[in-house]
């Protein structure tokens, strides 16, 4: 999916613009705890093409609060992550020195930048004031009103023209795409370097698109894998990644492209709130996941330590109880080789297809064991179910009345599917549909 970044001074209307675009997205309802995206990362769609929007203004540097520094930061994040950049300015305040400075940075980058002039009430007949923005030397300008949603179609048409072709975005289909995600300092780069440093691993330099440069392609035992977005991770001085929110943002973008997520925890800290957020996003996006507890060498062990730890992590990440948990040390290399068996395993599990006949035998048995819920004398009837997709395994259940379906009954059915077919490491998605 193409990534579009919004850059602009405070108060030019970035959030309004962002929310307008994000409001059009189809959202997946989920009750995952701890998942809020701070309205800085969302999906949108134009002319049938999905794209990701990021509001770089929502990321506050945790060092200095100076607006200028924040603006420069925004510009760099946009250049780093986005395929297309929208620079937003404000017709009411007019052109400022800061706008010029940001424009200078953006112009030098090798990325398409579109200049949108916000707060124009009637974009069809823009006021003469907007012409001064041509001085920024960014070519065409797009007058818009984010509040009223005007002029945005023309802007998005232009954005669309700059999207990389599906071909350019296309990934190595035969390789398993792995996102290594987690808080700063949990050991992401250590584990990646440990893996790539092993002799069984052949790191290849598949020439590809620009986006590919951020990924690491490699081979283990003749099978191909890609570590997604290792640019920030493998770099030694990770100035940008010092900023926590930005690293979360990168994690989200990596998750979107991944087949399998390695959710890394620091054994000394257990599951922190930020870990929950990161894991929650992988869950919400339907990705197969493995929970990797790193720095296991630093934990003092007695009999049962590992099992107790496993139980605790399982409780803290309850909604992810399908994910295997593995205890490793990037430092000593302990159990690191196990990761590839697990990656292959959860990938295969997430790719399982169950025949409709077999599926419905299991469904009928489950219904016979535990009666479906009822409300006001009306009982839920599930006529049949069918699998509609993989990664994640997705199913449609045809019922008499969708309102009668209960979260707890859904969970019961999912557990039944798991105990019959596995689906280890992957979320399962249900859609409940009424059949007349
Ligand atoms: P990242 O920010 O997630 O990429 O984390 P790094 O890989 O840079 O690791 C952060 C720090 O933890 C570094 O000082 C590493 O040497 C250390 N570290 C990483 N993995 C382990 C481990 O398994 N055991 C121990 N003892 N230290 C580790």
ipTM over the 0.85 cut-off: yes
Question: 249 CA to middle of ligand 1, Å?
Answer: 21
Backbone phi, psi, residue 136, to 5°: -70, -10
Q: Are residues 8 and 142 in the same domain?
A: yes
Q: Does any ligand 1 atom lie closer than 6 A to the CB of residue 336?
A: no
Query: Higher confidence at residue 32 or residue 175?
Result: 175
Q: Which of 141, 167, 193 is the last residue of a domain?
A: 167
Q: Are residues 108 and 179 in the same domain?
A: no
**E strand or H helix that includes residue 3:** strand 3-8
Q: Which of 105, 134, 167 is the last residue of a domain?
A: 167
Which residues are within 8 A (CB) of 2 and not within 5 positions of it... i.e. 6 or more apart?
49, 51, 52, 83, 84, 163, 164, 169
Q: Are residues 76 and 186 in the same domain?
A: no
Q: Are residues 254 and 392 in the same domain?
A: no
pLDDT average, residue stretch 10-22: 87
Q: How does pLDDT run across 303-354, given as a tens digit for each residue?
A: 899 999 999 999 999 999 999 999 999 999 999 999 999 999 999 999 999 9
Q: Are residues 125 and 236 in the same domain?
A: no
Question: 209 CA to middle of ligand 1, Å?
Answer: 30
Query: Which residue spans within 361-428 are E strands per DSSP?
Result: 374-375, 378-379, 382-389, 394-399
Question: 278 CA to middle of ligand 1, Å?
Answer: 18
Total domain count, the chain: 3
Q: Which of 350, 376, 394 is the last residue of a domain?
A: 350
CATH number for the domain that contains residue 426: 3.30.300.20
Using an 8 Å Cβ cutoff, are 6 and 106 in contact? no
Backbone phi, psi, residue 143, to 5°: -75, 130
User: Predicted confidence band at 39 (pLDDT cuts at 50, 70, 90)?
Assistant: low
Q: How does pLDDT run across 44-102, given as a tens digit for each residue?
A: 999 999 999 988 876 655 555 577 777 787 888 888 889 999 999 999 999 999 899 99
Q: Are residues 313 and 362 in the same domain?
A: no
Q: Does any ligand 1 atom lie closer than 6 A to the CB of residue 80?
A: no
Query: Higher confidence at residue 168 or residue 51?
Result: 51
Q: Are residues 340 and 287 in the same domain?
A: yes
Question: 190 CA to middle of ligand 1, Å?
Answer: 5
Question: 185 CA to middle of ligand 1, Å?
Answer: 6
Full residue range of the structural domain in which residue 154 is found: 3-167
Q: Are residues 142 and 270 in the same domain?
A: no
Q: Are residues 203 and 340 in the same domain?
A: yes
For 255, the 3-state DSSP assignment is helix
The neighbouring-strand residues paired with 375 are 378
Q: Ligand 1 atom 2: the closest Cα is on which residue?
A: 185
Q: Does any ligand 1 atom lie closer than 6 A to the CB of residue 187?
A: yes
Backbone phi, psi, residue 409, to 5°: -75, -35
Q: Reply yes or no on whether the pLDDT at 132 is more than 80.
A: yes
Structure confidence at residue 14 (pLDDT) = 87
Q: Are residues 334 and 195 in the same domain?
A: yes
CATH number for the domain that contains residue 299: 3.40.50.300
Q: Reply yes or no on whether the pLDDT at 153 is more than 50.
A: yes
Question: 184 CA to middle of ligand 1, Å?
Answer: 9
Q: Does any ligand 1 atom lie closer than 6 A to the CB of residue 251?
A: no
Helices and strands (DSSP H and E) totals, the chain: 13, 18
Q: Reply yes or no on whether the pLDDT at 140 is more than 80.
A: yes
Could you give the CA distance from residue 128 to residue 82 in angstroms, rounded to a whole number?
Answer: 31
Q: Reply yes or no on whether the pLDDT at 240 is more than 50.
A: no
Q: Are residues 284 and 364 in the same domain?
A: no
Pocket test for ligand 1, best of 181, 185, 187 (most atoms within 8 A of CB): 187
Could you give the CA distance from residue 150 to residue 154 in angstroms, rounded to a whole number?
Answer: 9
With vertex at residue 298, the alpha carbon angle to CA 295 and CA 299, rounded to the nearest 5 degrees, is 105
Q: Are residues 321 and 422 in the same domain?
A: no
Give me the percent of the chain exceeding a pLDDT of 90.
Answer: 62
Using an 8 Å Cβ cutoff, are 386 and 435 in contact? no
Using an 8 Å Cβ cutoff, are 18 and 42 in contact? yes
What rounded mean pLDDT belongs to the chain?
Answer: 87
Q: Does any ligand 1 atom lie closer than 6 A to the CB of residue 83?
A: no
Q: Which atom of ligand 1 is nearest to the CA of 184?
A: 2
């Amino acid at each position: 999916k193409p990534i579009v970044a919004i850059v602009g001074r405070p108060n030019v209307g970035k959030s309004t613009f962002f929310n307008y675009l994000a409001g059009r997205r189809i959202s997946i309802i989920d009750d995952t705890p701890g998942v809020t995206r701070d309205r800085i990362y969302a999906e949108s769609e134009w002319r049938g093409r999905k794209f990701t929007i990021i509001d770089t203004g929502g990321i506050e540097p945790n060092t200095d609060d100076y607006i200028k520094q924040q603006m420069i930061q925004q510009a760099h994040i946009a250049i780093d992550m986005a395929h297309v950049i929208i620079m937003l300015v404000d017709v009411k305040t007019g052109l400022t020195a800061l706008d010029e400075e940001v424009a200078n940075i953006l112009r030098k980058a090798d990325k398409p930048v579109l200049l949108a002039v916000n707060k124009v009430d009637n974009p069809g007949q823009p006021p003469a004031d907007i012409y001064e923005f041509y001085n920024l030397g960014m070519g065409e300008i797009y007058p818009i009103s984010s509040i009223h949603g005007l002029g945005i179609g023309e802007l998005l048409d232009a954005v669309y023209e700059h999207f990389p072709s599906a071909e350019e975005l296309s990934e190595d289909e035969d390789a398993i795409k792995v996102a290594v995600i987690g808080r700063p300092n949990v050991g992401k780069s250590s584990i990646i370097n440990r893996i790539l440093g092993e002799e069984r691993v052949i790191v290849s330099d598949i020439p590809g698109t620009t986006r590919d440069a951020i990924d690491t392609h490699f081979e283990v035992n003749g099978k191909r894998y890609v570590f997604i977005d290792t640019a920030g991770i493998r770099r030694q001085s990770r100035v940008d990644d010092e900023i926590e929110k930005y690293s979360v943002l990168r994690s989200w973008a990596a998750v979107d492209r991944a087949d399998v997520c390695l959710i890394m925890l620091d054994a000394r800290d257990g599951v922190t709130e930020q870990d929950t957020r990161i894991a929650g996003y992988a869950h919400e996006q339907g990705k197969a996941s493995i929970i990797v507890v790193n720095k296991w060498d630093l934990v003092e062990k007695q009999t049962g330590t590992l099992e107790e730890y496993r139980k605790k992590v399982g409780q803290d990440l309850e909604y992810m109880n399908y994910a295997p948990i593995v205890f490793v040390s990037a430092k000593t290399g302990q159990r690191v080789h196990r990761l590839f068996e697990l990656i292959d395993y959860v990938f295969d599990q997430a790719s399982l297809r169950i025949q409709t006949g077999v599926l419905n035998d299991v469904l009928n048995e489950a219904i016979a064991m535990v009666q479906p819920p009822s409300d006001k004398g009306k009982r839920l009837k599930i006529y049949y179910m069918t699998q509609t997709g993989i990664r994640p395994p997705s199913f449609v259940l045809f019922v008499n009345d969708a309102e009668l379906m209960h979260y707890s009954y859904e969970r019961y059915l999912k557990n039944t599917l798991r105990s019959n077919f596995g689906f280890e490491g992957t979320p399962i998605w249900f859609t409940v549909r009424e059949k007349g």
